[in-house]
Each structure stands twice: as C-alpha cells, then as structure tokens.
Amino acid sequence: MGDAAEPTWIDHATYLDIERKADWKHEWLDGAVYAMPGGTLEHAQLSAQSGSELVRLATGCGCRVFSADAKVRVRATGLATYPDASVVCGPIERDPDDRNAMINPVVLVEVLSDGTEAYDRGEKFEHYRQLPSLRDYVLVSQRRPLVEVYSRDERDRWVLTAVGAGERFTLAAMEGAIEVDRIYAGVELLPAPPRSLGG
C-alpha cells in the first residue's frame, strides 16, 4: 500500500473522480486513498513475464489476462486496487459502482517489494480471500527465484505451494504448468537487504 494521498475520509465516488483526473493509480479502502508508487525495473519485468506465462495458459481455456492497469474491487470489504496481473475466466463482472473495476478474477498476482511484501502477504490477502471467484493468489519474489501459490481447495481452504528455480507450478483456475525459470528469465534480481543484528 502506498502513502495516503489525503488525510481526511473520502467516499468511493470521490475516489473515482480522483482516479479519472489523476495521472497515476490509487488504491481505496475505508475512505482512505493511497497513491500506488511505481516499481523497479525488476518488478516491471517480473510482472510482464508472469502475465505472459498466464496468457499462455489462458489462450486455450477462454480466460483473459490483465496487466497492472486493471482494477479489482472486493465488494465485501470495499478495497479497490491494482494487482500486478489478474485473470478472468468467462464474462467479466464489473463493479456496479465502477465500470473500470472487475469483481470476479480467478487468479491474482503480486510481485513482492520491500515496501509492500507484508501488506501483500497479510491484509491484502485477507481482502482478496473475500472474492468468491478467486482460486489462486500468486506471490513472486524479487530477491530470488521463488513463486508462492495459494490455491483454494474444495473445502475452501487456502493451500500453499512454494517453488523455486528449475521447478514448475500449476493453478487451480487453469490447466497447464508454469516454469519458474521462464518467469525469471533475464531478470537481474535485487540483492537482499542488509540484515540488522539487533542489539
């Protein structure tokens, strides 16, 4: 989540007006508007290559893949945000309050960054789990070849599969497998941040 753009409460309709006039994207939750900062080149490349791999799977099954410019709205919690990639299978269901936001993704992808990793793993995933359509939540590391896939099983539990270099993973929402090495091909991974030795 970025920094709050306004210190006061803003209703969803006002947020939509801000979005129409702004040159950058914003996330909205509980009356707060957060500017979404641009990412690193590595983040952009991993987002694009993850999307490309999703397109490969989606081509044969009637699904569509969207970039980080596509907004997702979680009706149950109100969150409006822009995942790094999303997939819809079948007709797009649009938010009744915002024709530019989908409410029925089956796959959502977030490329982790130092500033958003805790949010993407925690609170944001809590919101995403309220999407009845969602089958897979994919987290892609910028620090090492590591993809974590949370898939919803038939008992509505979220099951984690973590895969690294040389491995592949499948999604509950679409048939076929994705090779981790294809997502990371040519990406110069960011060095790990220095570890603090607390005192």
Q: Let me know how long the chain is.
A: 199
Domain containing 63: what range? Answer: 39-184
Do 68 and 28 share a domain, yes or no?
A: no
**What phi and psi, each to the nearest 5 degrees, are found at residue 154?**
-65, -15
Least confident of 28-37, 70-79, 145-154: 28-37
Looking only at the bridges linking them, the beta strands covering 26-29 and 168-170 are unpaired
The number of beta carbons lying within 10 Å of the beta carbon of residue 60 is 10
What is the CA 50 to chain-centroid distance, rounded? 11
- Residues 158, 66, single domain; the answer is yes
Co-location of 55 and 124 in the same domain? yes
Q: Name the residue with higher pLDDT: 174 or 28.
A: 174
Give every CB contact of residue 16 below 8 A, 6+ residues apart in sequence: 97, 98
199 part of a folded domain: no
User: Residue range 146-165: average pLDDT?
Assistant: 97
pLDDT at 125: 97
- Are both 33 and 85 inside the same structural domain? no
Q: Is residue 193 part of a domain?
A: no
Name the domain count of the chain.
2
Domain for residue 96, yes or no? Answer: yes
In a domain, 19, yes or no: yes
Full-model pTM: 0.86
Across the chain, what does the average pLDDT equal?
89
Q: Is residue 30 domain-shared with residue 87, that is, in the same domain?
A: no
Q: Domain of 152: which CATH number?
A: 3.90.1570.10
Helix, strand, coil percentages (3-state) for the chain, rounded to 5, are 20, 30, 50
Neighbours of 195 (CB within 10 A): 6
Find the mean pLDDT for residues 89-114.
96
More confident of the two residues 135 and 40: 135
Domain membership flag for residue 105: yes
Pairing mode, strands 158-164 and 107-111: unpaired
- The answer to whether residue 14 sits within a structural domain is yes
Q: Tokens at residue 11, please?
A: 């209703």
Q: Is residue 196 part of a domain?
A: no
Q: Is the same domain home to 26 and 67?
A: no
Judgement on whether residues 9 and 44 belong to the same structural domain of the protein: no
84 and 1, same structural domain?
no
| 199 has a pLDDT exceeding 60 | no
Q: Are residues 105 and 164 in the same domain?
A: yes
Same domain, 27 and 124: no
Q: Is pLDDT at 78 greater than 70 in this prediction?
A: yes
Q: Are residues 101 and 166 in the same domain?
A: yes
pLDDT in tens, 20-32: 777 667 777 878 7
Same-domain pairing of 133 and 50: yes
